[in-house]
Structure 1
């Protein structure tokens, strides 16, 4: 190994050691913030807030060292991948530290630690989040792509749906507890963000080790109308045909028709889309989890709020006024409807995935 290669490896190891120590500080901050919340330890909460200052300073120091390394060594290949991953990890760790500060600040303001179902949900989610963070840090430190992939699966399996917590918070009639409930809800959202950043750490570990890029996100979209016999089915068919890699699509109706509109079936068959085995679906048959999993819910007939008593917390809803279903034999009417829905679907999917969505 030449002197320059030896210097490069030494400088790189110094950066990795600095990131490893930063990760230890951040992991401790999350652990202490959660413990302060669960035990009502205000002193620990305030100490966690102040201990974020060294984390911020180290973040800036690592950033400077990385840019200096690039200027001196002009890295390429695996070294460049690692440096770009380190820069991202550095920002992600700093954000996790900020989330720990928010949790600690909320802990310091609580009149007493969470109790009952809130406490149990907090314990579950905090344990899962901390496990995921710990493993994602280890995956990056060891450049272990397989551990990164397995830890990513934890994020998909985690029941991080906040809708039930949000519903419980809204149903609480004791206004004296509203401040505490709101504070705990903020904590849940911060833990969810820690888990999201831990997943990003896994992506960075995989990229640094293998060069494998993060797969584009696939968005779940639900189209609804009164009977799921025409317009919502057309929207689903258009989305499936034109953007198969960008989303997972469903359609449903309030009161499903006995069968699809025959004019729709023949119209789409002329365009190479076969709906002969498709039957209208009922919105009522979708589970609460299936609905809350949707990223976007689109109504093609009236407002989404008229179909769902509660809009899931994480869902975005859109109301597309597509007008009445064309009469039988109105080929031009179906053509106009098809074009109008196609444009709306195109705008939505390009907004979600960018130009060139497929």
Structure 2
């Protein structure tokens, strides 16, 4: 292996490491945000809002690094797909971090009000999302496109099921999706 290809491989490994770190921080933010909402922990919610700046910076740094590798190394086929997926996932992870921040903001806004119990469905949605995030990272880490395809299919079913719950008037169109959701459980 030449010095250039060793350096290039190191850059790809570093991109993977940065993505995993971003995912770890986002997952932690979501977990903390749900905990803060559940326990009306305003101090924790404020800390989550502050830490969102770090998540945004990490995502931006990762995206810049990926673009720099693309520009300087001229990756081909599989490496280009890897870098492209890292860019795509960095954007999505940053957005998930924003959702965690939104939950923290909601926690602060709800603080003066009586504390209703959180619906079990919310906890289930969070756990499902966290599992899917872990699976997505495993797909990238192992370069396994099949896992990615399965994830997309699971996410499509989950989205259709959510739409049916949110828009019950469309129930006729939702019957097949409900059946799939019940079978998937």
Query: Which TM-score tier does this pair reach, normalised by the shorter chain?
Result: 0.7 to 0.9
Question: Which runs of no fewer than 5 residues in structure 2 stay unpaired?
Answer: 176-185
Other-structure match for 1:22: 22
Other-structure match for 1:161: 163
How many aligned residue pairs are there? 172
Any conservation in 2 of the 1:38–1:114 contact (CA below 8 Å)? no
Higher relative contact order (CA 8 A, sep 6+): 2
Any conservation in 2 of the 1:40–1:112 contact (CA below 8 Å)? no
Any conservation in 1 of the 2:164–2:174 contact (CA below 8 Å)? no
Query: How high is the TM-score relative to the length of structure 1?
Result: 0.44
Other-structure match for 1:50: 50
Any conservation in 2 of the 1:125–1:160 contact (CA below 8 Å)? no
Q: Give 1 or 2: higher strand fraction.
A: 1
Other-structure match for 1:343: none
Query: Residues 43 and 73 (structure 1 numbering): CA distance in 2 closer, same or farther, change over 3 Å?
Result: same
Question: Which runs of no fewer than 5 residues in structure 1 stay unpaired?
Answer: 168-286, 294-358
Q: Give 1 or 2: higher helix fraction.
A: 2
Other-structure match for 2:68: 68
Q: CA deviation at 1:11?
A: 1.2
For the pair shown, which has the larger CA radius of gyration, 1 or 2? 1
Any conservation in 1 of the 2:52–2:97 contact (CA below 8 Å)? yes
Other-structure match for 1:141: 141
2:2 aligned with 1:5, yes or no?
no
Deviations 1:124-175 (A, max 9, x none): 22222222222223322332223223333332443323645x88xxxxxxxx
Any conservation in 2 of the 1:23–1:93 contact (CA below 8 Å)? yes
Computed over aligned residues only, the root mean square deviation of the Cα atoms, in angstroms, reads 2.5
Query: How high is the TM-score relative to the length of structure 2?
Result: 0.81
Query: Residues 112 and 42 (structure 1 numbering): CA distance in 2 closer, same or farther, change over 3 Å?
Result: farther
